[in-house]
């Protein structure tokens, strides 16, 4: 009877520890922009980012760090961060750099922004509401901390926002209303300016790093202490501010404690294991190991066979991995964590998405007065299925991705192997569906995509919409397709945002809502969706559905597409209006050596669907023609089924 109760108690303890480990998933993105190219540099943000990232690292967060990022670099870093934050309990974004408000909306400024034209705000900056919206779809609790309330340094003061030309009239940042369980913290009150201070760190970042590491302090208590410090340091000129709708307590730094899962029967183990085991023997079991760790499958057990199992041997993390998260089943480890010898075999590591470089762990092993250091290497690796069939801009993907016509014949086998190895990873089922579509196995592909959707893969929901709206393997059902697009759009998929936005803007299979449709396409473009950029360029070039024509605004979106797709985007520029040529302002894209003064717009017949394989060539569909898009355009995606990748006017 006692044994049975002990067994049940152990099961309960394991279950609780599993829940705690899940609740302990915390991800932070820290950005510091100092070296601006078109405006004076800022003194503190690079150093702020370094200090704050170390703070979050000490608190046990998986920390993504980016310094002096361009718009394209931000998009890539933010996508990787969002993929890692998928399902997290707490997602944090900390930004130090230039930021200001236009029309009551806040924008963060990459280092390559010039903001010389009215359309530049849309294509060169980061809208704070877009960041918050994406975090809402990924995590239970969202925290955004902004040390960015500085005066607008650009000479231009009027910019296009959606369907209006807005004149800048405010300083600092505007107040933000977050969703439930969110906190948005500002370095100073709405409409006011934040100061750099006299030291290496800004007054706000310095106070935050110092106060955030107070053990077991709830975040609103931390921010109150930060506010007191900043008010004192600036003689009352700067007053930090928060908007909070938190319903759960958020503790950044938990007090260190002993493991909740001590090794069972430690006294018996101690009798079995020789008490005089040498530290050198223990270190030898860990030193110079190189373990391959797959990316994007969750925490991976290191399966270390440590010879010491008793409490006479202790270990301390003397060197924490530069990126990624080291954990035990019951807790995430932070730098300088200690663990018992019996816990070494339970160590797990989760690589950081987007980081391929090997990382090292240093252990300081002690027994009495004896001490020895051991170093092991962890090498992240991307699964063959991701390499062969990963999709661009997949919100849950781990690679930059391939277009459909770039998927190789071996992708089906690689993805079937990945599904067998990781049956709970929905991404592999979706990528198998992509590979099967290319191979022409429509029914099998649809089944795999449906399974991925059922397991929560957002891009798979979009793909079901494409299959329905294009009639692949069945009849065309635009209403059903729009339903899937709407679902995936609400969950942050940029492909779906553009497809659903296009349908709403033009009233394709749904009652027209021009404003919502335009906003969705603008959001998709801000996330790097090239099809959305081309659709918007065509809308702004001609003027449609009450949106005024503005060729300069159209050109801004075409230039943004060129930057993301090199010379290939020049082919996309043929997707346009009914006239043969359009003269536009000269521009010099980075990847094109000659000055562009004219863009020839070519009407190309719709190609016939190749049987039975459905990998599409990169040929644009003619606006106004019926039928599904014959290609999936740019790294914005394989297909936007309502748009043909370039903007069917509907």
Q: What is the pLDDT of residue 154?
A: 84
Ranges of beta strands (E only) in 23-89 are 26-32, 62-67
Query: pLDDT tens digit string along 569-594?
Result: 455 455 444 433 333 333 333 333 33
- Would the CATH topology of 272-381 be identical to that of 384-573? no
The residue-averaged pLDDT of 267-280 equals 46
pLDDT at 581: 37
Q: Greater confidence, 512 or 191?
A: 512
pLDDT at 148: 84
pLDDT tens digits, residue range 595-619?
Answer: 343 444 444 444 444 444 444 333 3
Q: Which residue has the tokens 């110079």?
A: 288
CB atoms within 10 A of CB 39: 16
CATH architecture label of 26-245: 3-Layer(aba) Sandwich (3.40)
CATH fold of the domain at 384-573:
1.25.40
pLDDT digits (tens, 9 = 90+) for 174-214: 777 667 899 999 988 876 677 666 678 889 999 999 999 99
Question: What CATH number has the domain spanning 272-381?
Answer: 2.60.40
- Kindly state the tokens that stand for 484: 């899937």
Q: Nearest to residue 58, comparing CAs of 253, 238, 315? A: 253
DSSP, residue by residue, 628-645: --SS--STT-S--TTTTT
Taking a C-beta distance cutoff of 8 angstroms, is the pair 146, 185 a contact? yes
Distance CA 175, CA 433 (A): 44
Cβ neighbours of residue 8 under 8 Å, at least 6 residues apart? none
pLDDT of residue 601: 41
User: Residue 474 CA to chain centroid, in angstroms?
Assistant: 34
Confidence (pLDDT) at 160: 83
3-class DSSP state of 252: coil
Say if CB 110 and CB 96 are below 8 A apart: no
Question: What pLDDT does 126 receive?
Answer: 94
Half-sphere exposure of 234 (CA within 13 A, CB side): 23
| Alpha carbon separation from 645 to 25, 215, 536, 556, 565 (Å, rounded) | 37, 51, 11, 18, 13
Distance CA 391, CA 407 (A): 10
Q: What is the mean pLDDT of residues 59-64?
A: 93
Q: Which DSSP string do the residues of 274-340 spell out, in sequence order?
A: -TT--HHHHHHTTTT-EEEEESSSS-EE-----S--STT-EEEEEE--SSSEEEETTEE--TT-EEE
The kind and range of the H/E element at 230 are helix 219-233
Report pLDDT for 587: 34
Its sign, for the CA torsion 583, 550, 122, 457, is negative
pLDDT above 70 as % of the chain = 77
Confidence of residue 100 (pLDDT cuts 50, 70, 90): confident
- State pLDDT tens for residues 421-437: 999 999 999 999 999 99
Q: Where are the domains of the chain?
A: 26-245, 272-381, 384-573
Q: Whole-prediction pTM value?
A: 0.80
pLDDT digits 0-9 by tens, 452-472: 999 999 999 999 999 999 999
Q: What is the pLDDT of residues 519-557, one digit of tens each?
A: 999 999 999 999 999 999 999 999 999 998 999 999 999
Strand partners, 149: 99
Closest CA to 630 of 638, 640, 622, 621: 621
Question: Closest by alpha carbon to 201, among 189, 209, 190?
Answer: 209
Identify which of 202, 256, 171, 163 has the alpha carbon closest to the alpha carbon of residue 32.
202
What's the mean per-residue pLDDT of the chain? Answer: 80
């Amino acid at each position: 009877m006692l044994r049975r109760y002990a067994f049940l108690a152990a099961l309960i303890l394991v279950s609780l520890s599993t829940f705690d480990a899940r609740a302990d998933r915390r991800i932070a993105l820290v950005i510091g922009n100092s070296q601006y190219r078109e405006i004076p540099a800022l003194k503190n943000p690079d150093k702020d980012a370094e200090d704050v990232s170390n703070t979050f690292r000490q608190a046990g967060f998986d920390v993504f760090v980016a310094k002096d990022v361009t718009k394209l670099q931000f998009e890539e870093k933010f996508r990787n961060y969002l993929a890692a934050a998928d399902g997290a309990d707490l997602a944090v974004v900390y930004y130090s750099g230039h930021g200001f408000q236009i029309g009551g909306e806040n924008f963060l400024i990459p280092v390559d922004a010039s903001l010389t034209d009215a359309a530049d705000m849309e294509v060169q900056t980061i809208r704070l509401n877009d960041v918050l919206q994406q975090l809402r779809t990924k995590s239970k609790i969202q925290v955004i901390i902004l040390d960015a309330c500085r005066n607008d340094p650009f000479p231009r003061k009027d910019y296009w926002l959606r369907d209006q030309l807005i004149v800048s009239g405010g300083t600092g940042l505007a107040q933000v209303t977050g969703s439930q369980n969110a906190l948005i913290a500002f370095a100073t009150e709405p409409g006011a300016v934040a100061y750099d201070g006299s030291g290496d760190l800004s007054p706000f970042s310095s106070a935050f790093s110092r106060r955030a590491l107070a053990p077991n302090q709830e975040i609103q208590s931390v921010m109150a202490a930060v506010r007191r410090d900043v008010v004192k340091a600036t003689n009352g000129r700067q007053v930090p501010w928060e908007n909070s709708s938190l319903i759960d307590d958020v503790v950044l730094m938990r007090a260190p404690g002993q493991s909740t899962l001590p090794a069972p029967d430690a006294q018996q183990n101690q009798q079995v294991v020789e008490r005089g085991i040498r530290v050198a023997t223990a270190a030898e079991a860990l030193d110079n190991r190189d373990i391959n760790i797959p990316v994007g499958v969750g925490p991976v057990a290191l399966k270390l066979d440590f010879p010491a199992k008793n409490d006479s041997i202790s270990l301390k993390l003397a060197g924490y991995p530069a990126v990624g998260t080291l954990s035990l089943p019951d807790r995430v480890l932070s730098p300088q964590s200690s663990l018992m010898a019996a816990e070494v075999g339970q160590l797990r590591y989760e690589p950081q998405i987007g980081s391929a470089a090997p990382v090292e762990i240093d252990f300081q092993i002690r027994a009495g007065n004896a001490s020895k250091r051991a170093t092991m290497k962890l090498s992240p690796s991307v699964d063959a299925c991701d390499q062969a069939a990963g999709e661009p801009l997949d919100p849950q993907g781990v690679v930059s991705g391939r277009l459909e016509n770039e998927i190789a014949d071996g992708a089906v086998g690689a993805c079937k192997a990945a599904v067998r190895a990781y049956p709970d990873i929905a991404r592999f089922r979706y990528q198998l569906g992509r590979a099967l579509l290319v191979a022409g196995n429509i029914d099998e592909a649809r089944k795999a995509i449906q399974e991925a959707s059922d397991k929560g893969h957002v891009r798979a929901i979009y793909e079901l919409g494409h299959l329905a709206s294009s009639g692949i393997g069945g009849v065309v059902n635009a209403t059903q397709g729009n339903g899937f697009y709407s679902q995936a759009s609400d969950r942050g998929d940029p492909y779906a945002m553009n497809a659903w936005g296009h349908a709403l803007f033009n009233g394709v299979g749904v009652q027209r809502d021009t404003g919502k449709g335009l906003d969705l396409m603008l959001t998709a473009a801000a996330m790097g969706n090239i099809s959305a950029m081309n659709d918007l360029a065509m809308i702004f070039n001609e003027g449609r559905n009450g949106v005024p024509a503005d060729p300069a605004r159209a050109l801004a979106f075409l230039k943004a597409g060129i930057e993301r797709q090199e010379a290939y985007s020049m082919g996309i520029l043929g997707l346009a209006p009914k006239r043969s040529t359009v003269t536009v302002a000269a521009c010099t894209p980075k990847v094109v050596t000659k000055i562009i003064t004219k863009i020839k717009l070519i009407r190309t017949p719709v190609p016939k669907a190749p049987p039975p394989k459905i990998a599409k060539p990169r040929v644009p569909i003619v606006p106004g023609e019926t039928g599904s898009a014959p290609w999936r355009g740019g790294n914005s995606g394989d297909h936007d089924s309502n748009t043909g990748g370039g903007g069917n006017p509907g």
